[in-house]
Amino acid sequence: MDTTLRPVKAARGWGWALPAALFVLPLAAALWLGAAEAVDARAWSHLLSDTQFAAALAESLWIAVASTMLSATLCVLIVTRLHGTRAWQRVQGALGGWLAVPHAAFAIGLALLLMPSGFIARLLAGVAGWDAPPDIATVRDPWGLGLIAALVFKELPFLLWNVAAQLRRVGQGAELERQLQIAATMGYSRRTAWARLLWPQLLPRLALPLLAVGAYGFTVVDMALVIGPARPPTLAVLAWQWLLDANAATNHQGAAAALCLTALVAALAAAVVLAWHAVRPAARQRWTRGDRPSAARRFEWPWAGTGAAVYLAVVLSLLFMSIAGVWTFPSLWPSHWTLQAWAGVAHSSSTVGVTAVLAIVSASTGLVLAVAWMETAPAHWDARAAGAVFAPMLVPGVLLVAGLYQLSLHSGIDGRFAGLWLAHSLYTAPYAMVALSPAYRGFDPRYQQTAHALGRSHAAFLLRVKWPMLLAPLAAAFAVAFAVSVTQYLPTQFIGAGRYATVTTEALTLASGGQRNLAAAFALLQALLPAIVFGFAWWLGRRQARRLHAVAMA
């Protein structure tokens, strides 16, 4: 067996360097160029003396911390309560669909539902006797509650999906059941077992997804523009506005703000890690205290039902708004319907084609890079690569895009499909990596040993055994990467010199004209494309599971 294995190991060698370089080199160059724009003393003094800076920063911190804490708490609560039940299966089944709805589209739908002239206010108007929409800030509220709600609804599925991926790792499921059983035989309730035994093991593994959630809440622009506070706006929105200003000095101020956001994300992450280490000894004492809290039966909130209802309501409100014409308050039904928006969509069908081709090409590239890395680099290197992998998620989009644009300009690929492909792949690769790695790294090594022992080449093993067995996670990772590509706005607009219109750029330019039904129609379209791919991935996964099951039975 030894002789069969050696050539395989030798083949690894420096193979990892290629996927790493293809990803890291453009990323590092872009970050360098982006950060260089912020190296300007005057920009920093302008930033610090800007009257909106302090308030915007405080607002951003509050929104990021509140949305992350709330999402994490709900995630812990839901997994503890539902794991091992049929409801958990239902939640897992629905996650793909929820993840497929782009953040901006979700925010638009939620804002349409909640706004003072939205459907909910109209329902209340009959009871409250309003003849005009109430003068209350239900969206774009000064406390950022609307944005926090939208973030929680979008981030919770992402966290649950990460937990599910962790639990799906080979052997994890059985190990978890074993630990729960041991705890049960020792008289611990299921909830106590989760709290003292399983979460302390799981949470450190969720550190990076949680950090991504926090960083996203801190730096998000598109959702904040739709549903976030307006006076002051969040710091990320200010940075974005400054970076897009016609004035070069204001651009530098924007770059400084973006760099400031990046530094704060790093500081927040460090603070959380320190806090974790500080509370660990005290927590450990509590976990190992040995008392047996009673398992009080409480009312079981229908989590899956609630999630499904919110997402359904958001999608329906988008559909409704896309065809509503004149619709005076407080009537529940528009007096005119119009299909103009959908006629407009049909008219720009080429954008759907551009979006799909770009997403397929860059999602495939991202997936290939992720697989190539995991095939050539040992598992314990993943931690070393984490910084680079998570950079596109953690660095504020505006800063990275500014650098990517400079890079494309100097290499002459701006305004070309190749430039867009490169830029999108930088975003799809890390998501593909994160989505794939639990299943891929957890693949039972004994299959490889057996295949090689039977004299199969490594290529044959990959093509005939490993990849077919991992078809479901591969397809799911592709779907995630596809969705990521579809939702890119800034890189598409800048590196493509505006020449390649996708459903997302179209939706946002139309939204700038305040044409609500067109914006709603394109938001739906933005959700529909990833949903189709997620659906296909789900179908592939189920078919493959049946086949594997049939083989195992035979």
Partner 1 sequence: MPPTITRRRLLAATAALPIAPWPTRALAAASWPAIEHAARGQTVYLNAWAGSERINAYLQWAGSEAAKRWGIKLEHVKISDTAEVVKRVRAEKQAGRSTEGSVDAVWINGENFLAMKREGLLYGPFAESLPSYANVDTSGKPTTRIDFSEPVDGMEAPWGMAQLTFFADSQRVPHPPRSMAELIEFARHHPGRVTYPKPPNFHGTTFLKQVLLERSVDRTPFYAPVATERFARLTAPLWSTLDALHPVLWRHGKQFPATNTDMRQMMADGELLITLTFNPNEAANEIAAKRLPDTVISWQHTAGTIANTHFLAIPFNARAKEAAQVLIDFLLSPLAQARKADISTWGDPTVLAIDRLQPADKVLFAQGSMAGSVVQTAPALLEPHATWVDAIEREWTRRYGQ
Q: Which residues bind partner 1 (CB under 8 A)?
A: 51-52, 55, 116-117, 132-133, 135, 137, 140, 142, 230-232, 241, 244-248, 250-251, 325-329, 335-336, 338, 340, 344, 405-406, 409-410, 414-415, 493-494, 497-499, 501, 505-506, 508-518
Of residues 259 and 269, the one with the C-beta less far from partner 1 = 259
Please identify, using beta-carbon distances, which residue of 110 and 531 lies nearer to partner 1: 110
Please state at what angle helix 53-82 crosses helix 248-287, rounded to 10 degrees: 40
Tokens matching residue 117: 């002239």
The identity of residue 39, as a single letter, is V
Taking the complex as a whole, the smallest distance from the CB of residue 107 to partner 1 amounts, in Å, to 14
Q: How far is the CB of 46 from partner 1 (least distance, A)?
A: 11
d(CA 28, CA 548): 42
Q: At closest approach, how far in Å is the CB of 69 from partner 1?
A: 27
Q: Is the CB of 209 or the CB of 403 nearer to partner 1?
A: 403
Specify the residue, 238 or 474, whose C-beta has the smaller distance to partner 1: 238
Under the phi-then-psi rule, with left for phi > 0, alpha for psi from -120 to 50, and beta for the rest, what region is 187? left
- Residue 329 vs 421, nearer CB to partner 1: 329
**CB of residue 255 vs partner 1: minimum separation in angstroms?**
12
Closer residue to partner 1 in complex, CB, 479/508: 508
* Shortest spacing between CB 161 and partner 1, in angstroms: 32
The nearer residue to partner 1, 111 or 426, going by C-beta atoms, is 111
Which among 272, 214, 207, 262 has a CA at the least distance from the CA of 63?
A: 214
DSSP string across 448-472? HHHHHHTT--HHHHIIIIIHHHTHH
SS3 annotation, 286-329: HHCCCCCCCCCCCCCCCHHHHHHHHHHHHHHHHHHHHHECCCCC
Determine the residue type at 309: A
> Which tokens sit at 493?
């607009």
3-state secondary structure of 376: helix
Give the rounded distance of the alpha carbon of 30 from its chain centre.
22
Yes or no: say if 236 and 22 are a contact pair by the CB < 8 Å rule: no
Smallest distance from the beta carbon of 336 to partner 1, in angstroms? 5
Query: Is residue 502 a contact partner of residue 358, using CB atoms and an 8 Å limit?
Result: yes
| Closer by beta carbon to partner 1, 373 or else 500 | 500
How many CA atoms does the CB half-sphere of 435 hold within 13 Å? 29
For the bound state, the minimum distance from the C-beta of residue 521 to partner 1, rounded and expressed in Å, comes to 11
CB of 410 to partner 1, least distance (A): 6
Q: Which is nearer to partner 1, 214 or 233 (CB)?
A: 233
State how far the alpha carbon of 202 is from the alpha carbons of 82, 210, 397, 438, in Å: 16, 12, 29, 13
Q: Which is nearer to partner 1, 53 or 98 (CB)?
A: 53
Residue placing its CB nearer to partner 1 in the complex, 170 or 230:
230
C-alpha distances out from residue 69 to 65, 391, 447, Å:
6, 22, 41
Output 40 or 382, the one with its CB closest to partner 1. 40
Residue 182 neighbours by CB distance under 10 Å: 12
Q: Rounded to the nearest whole angstrom, what is the least distance from the CB of residue 342 to partner 1 in the complex?
A: 12
E strands, 310-385, are: none
Residue 50: CB minimum distance to partner 1, A: 10
In the 3-class helix/strand/coil scheme, how is 55-111 assigned residue by residue?
HHHHHHHHHHHHHHHHHHHHHHHHHHHHCCCHHHHHHHHHHHHHHHCCHHHHHHHHH
CB 431 to partner 1: min, Å: 26
Triad 518, 521, 525: Cα angle to 5°: 135
Distance between CA atoms of residues 71 and 60, nearest Å:
16
CA 532 – CA 479 distance, rounded (Å): 9
CB of 529 to partner 1, least distance (A): 19
CB 325 within 8 A of CB 338: yes
